[in-house]
Amino acid sequence: MKFLSDKVTNNSHGQDSSYFLGWQEYEKNPYDEIKNPKGIIQMGLAENQLSFDLLESWMALNHEAAAFKNPEGESVFRQLALFQDYHGLPEFKNAMAQFMSEIRGNKVDFDADNLVLTAGSTSANETLIFCLANPGDAFLLPTPYYPGFDRDLKWRTGAEIVPIQCFSSNGFRITESALEDAYKEAQNRNLKVKGVLVTNPSNPLGTTLTREELKLLITFVDEKGIHLISDEIYSGTVFESPAYVSAMEVLSELKDKTDDVWERVHIVYSLSKDLGLPGFRVGALYSNDKMVVSAATKMSSFGLISSQTQYLLAAMLSDKKFTKKYLSENQKRLKERHEMLVAGLREAGIECLESNAGLFCWVDMRHLLSSNTFEAEMELWKKIVYQVGLNISPGSSCHCTEPGWFRLCFANMSEETLALALKRISSFVASEQPASTGTTSPRTSNKSSKRKGFTKWVFRLSQNNDRNRER
């Protein structure tokens, strides 16, 4: 007899994806410098630990806020502990809106009244889908995309995802033809398209959308009469040019506020990546549509941010001297760590897609496949997890159109741990039988040496692994 509902037992959660399976293997055998030096190093977690010392320093200097005291030194614990309106603390919403503007170079003004607080960006994205789509409706997403979207957008809402197929030949950029093809594919499947969702900067690519791409997207949703959700949770991680451009910035340039498309562009944000606070569960959605804001605010009662968290972060984000220093220093550290990973991989004969943001690199290992198939990609992934001792995310888990791409995270570990991970990769490649193919990979990062090609290493993978194709 089945005691659980169809909703919780269906397979749309995506928990069986290699993205999540890699985490499970890591948790069974986690690397520790002292206790388990041969364990699996976690490179599948997009977490920012590079600037935690800056947060801790602020906490030490602002112990009143951490102790829930107001600037006069009086305790506010009682009022924070009592039941709060789920609209959120006004002080925090104002501080959050100003921080979002600061990250975007103050080129965009955010109205705190249009901000809905949620328990992380996962909740924000799902809430928007609940507000905009009925079960069976579809959203178009450019590939490759964050594997968690299969859970966040589909599992409880009943919505569908139709991929916008992007390719390495142009650096996985979004094109008009790809948008139209995805829209037609949805129509062929009798799916009603309600919108397009993009991550900017991209997870997993680590690239920012160009102004031209954003114009294309806004024009597309305007013509189709659908929505655009721009997930901008990595907007503060842009460490190199081109500068970050928000969908709201381009919208304000293209359209008057009286145009109805103004109410069909929505922003998702979070403090999990830019401030490295995923455990605080602080997210938000922003919309110029008052009906969306009202509906989302009602739904936010299922995933509130605690009053204590809001109070503490209101004080932190209101400290403009701190936020300016933090954003600048964090971006500097991200750039240095990114360069370390790219250089280390290049020494091992592995290249990355050229990127300028995020906590990860999109790594080209196509030359390490035994064949140009997703089965071969899974063989390589298993070898890297179990033999090399690194948990990385295969491109198939991100719905990449081409086998052989992987996401590697670099900001969730110490410099020493990253150096060890690079040593393991280098030893792994060197231990195999090399053979030059004389081919090159398109649009890969190669700024330091400006080489047009690199040596290709090919090896034969074990045939004993399961050959399950994952798309």
- Count helices and strands (H / E) in the chain: 16, 13
Q: Is the peptide bond before 144 cis (omega within 30 degrees of 0)?
A: yes
Q: Which residues contact 41 (CB under 8 A, 6 or more apart)?
A: 31, 389, 390, 391, 413, 417, 420, 421, 424
Q: Are 32 and 420 contacting, i.e. CB atoms less than 8 angstroms apart?
A: no
Between the CA of residue 318 and those of 98, 160, 271, 310, 314, what are the distances in Å?
A: 8, 39, 14, 12, 6
* 3-state secondary structure (DSSP) of residue 363: strand
Q: Is the peptide bond before 163 cis (omega within 30 degrees of 0)?
A: no
Q: In tens digits, what is the pLDDT along the chain, a chain of 471 residues?
A: 467 877 777 766 666 667 778 878 899 999 999 999 999 999 999 999 999 999 999 999 988 877 777 777 777 777 777 767 778 899 999 999 999 999 999 999 999 999 999 999 999 999 999 999 999 999 999 999 999 999 999 999 999 999 999 999 999 999 999 999 999 999 999 999 999 999 999 999 999 999 999 999 999 999 999 999 999 999 999 999 999 999 999 999 987 777 899 999 999 999 999 999 999 999 999 999 999 999 999 999 888 889 899 989 999 999 999 999 999 999 999 999 999 999 999 999 999 999 999 999 999 999 999 999 999 999 999 999 999 999 999 999 999 999 999 999 999 999 999 999 999 999 999 886 544 343 444 444 444 433 333 333 323 233 333 333 333
Give the DSSP letter string of 66-102.
HTTB-TTS-B-HHHHHS---TT--HHHHHHHHHHHHH
pTM across the whole model: 0.88
Domains defined along the chain, listed by start: 6-52+327-431 (3.90.1150.10), 67-318 (3.40.640.10)
Active site residues: 146, 231, 233, 273
Give the pLDDT of residue 2.
67
Q: Are 421 and 404 contacting, i.e. CB atoms less than 8 angstroms apart?
A: no
Give the pLDDT of residue 425.
96
Tell me the C-alpha distance between 74 and 443, whole Å. Answer: 58
